Amino acid sequence: MTADTGETRANDACARATASAPVRLEYRGHIAEIALDNGPLNLVDKSLLREMGRVLVELDARADIRCAILHGGRGRVFCAGSDVKGFATIRNDASEHKILFEDLVLRRLARLPMPTIAAIDGPALGGGLEIALACDLRIVRRGVMIGLPESLLGGLAGNGAVRLARLIGPGRAKELLFTGSTIGSDDALAFGIVNRVAETSALDAARELAGIIATRGPLSNRLAKSLVDAAHDMPLDAALSMSTVAQQQIFDSADLHEGVAAFLAKRIPRFVGH
């Protein structure tokens, strides 16, 4: 796809972080890729959270980005969660040093305006699965294990408990949390935790899906994301009122009229995002 003149920097596909940074951000046309790069296990620590937060702030401001992929980079896993060796030093001030910071970053990820996809090519455990759950869609490679095993250590997946329950319902969420069990790709798909299972590469499958999403109306997709989230977060009448406003935005947009014109002319639409 050829990008518009104002999107030159999106076509450079340049990494926004140094090779030693725990998170890398690259732009590929209208698609952004966030790679976790914090060692072979991609452990969730302060450095990863700090860099991810910076990356998410940058990405949030990019009106030209139509989809974002988050993956495990060069790690053996998507993300193995937190480094439990550091827990003993934050016993009495965990909220200050870990819980609130982590929650802030996961909220930023979940609230990105564009659709997001987690490409899970290696195990996603504990805080790693919590990161994936903060994305809109999840694709896992066949045979990869995922889970929230915190109860095995007497711990708790706070964000994970809430997001998982909203995604798959309380019964299955409680079973996974109470037992700390990990499950394979097929069960993850059956439970509704992931959207697709990739036979070879979850990242390749995510890139293919992101490419499709990027050809659709970007304003439409951003508004659709906000309405689906509102369906969980707001009373029905308030969410429906929000949908009325969103529909008016669509009819006021150049994209809708471009889409209609392209349909009638039997050509590919050239959406601009407004």
The yes-or-no verdict on residue 16 having pLDDT over 70 is no
The yes-or-no verdict on residue 115 having pLDDT over 90 is yes
Is the distance from CB of 14 to CB of 25 less than 8 angstroms?
no
The yes-or-no verdict on residue 2 having pLDDT over 90 is no
> Residue 96: what pLDDT?
73
1 pLDDT band, cuts 50/70/90, is very low
Rounded CA-CA distance 260/262 in Å is 5
226 pLDDT band, cuts 50/70/90, is very high
Q: Given 7, 150, 175, 258, which residue is catalytic? A: 150
Rounded CA-CA distance 125/80 in Å is 5
Rounded CA-CA distance 256/216 in Å is 11
Is the distance from CB of 254 to CB of 218 less than 8 angstroms?
no
The yes-or-no verdict on residue 99 having pLDDT over 90 is no
20 pLDDT band, cuts 50/70/90, is confident
Give me the chain's average pLDDT, please. Answer: 90
14 pLDDT band, cuts 50/70/90, is very low
> Residue 72: what pLDDT?
96
Domains annotated for the chain, with CATH where assigned, are 5-214 (3.90.226.10), 218-265 (1.10.12)
pLDDT, tens only, 21-34: 999 999 999 999 99
Higher pLDDT, 83 or 112: 112
- Quick one: average pLDDT of 34-39? 95
- Tokens for 135? 């994305």
> Residue 19: what pLDDT?
54
Instruction: Give the whole-number percent of the chain exceeding pLDDT 90.
Output: 80
- Tokens for 233? 């977060």
Is the distance from CB of 132 to CB of 118 less than 8 angstroms?
yes
Residue 58 annotated to the active site: no
113 pLDDT band, cuts 50/70/90, is very high
- Quick one: average pLDDT of 118-141? 97
Q: Given 7, 33, 102, 130, which residue is catalytic? A: 130
Rounded CA-CA distance 186/180 in Å is 18
243 pLDDT band, cuts 50/70/90, is very high
In terms of Cβ atoms closer than 10 Å to its own Cβ (0-12, 13-18, 19+), residue 250 is middle
Beta partners for 111? Answer: none
pLDDT, tens only, 149-158: 999 989 889 9
Instruction: Give the whole-number percent of the chain exceeding pLDDT 70.
Output: 92
pLDDT, tens only, 147-206: 999 999 898 899 999 999 999 999 999 999 999 999 999 999 999 999 999 999 999 999
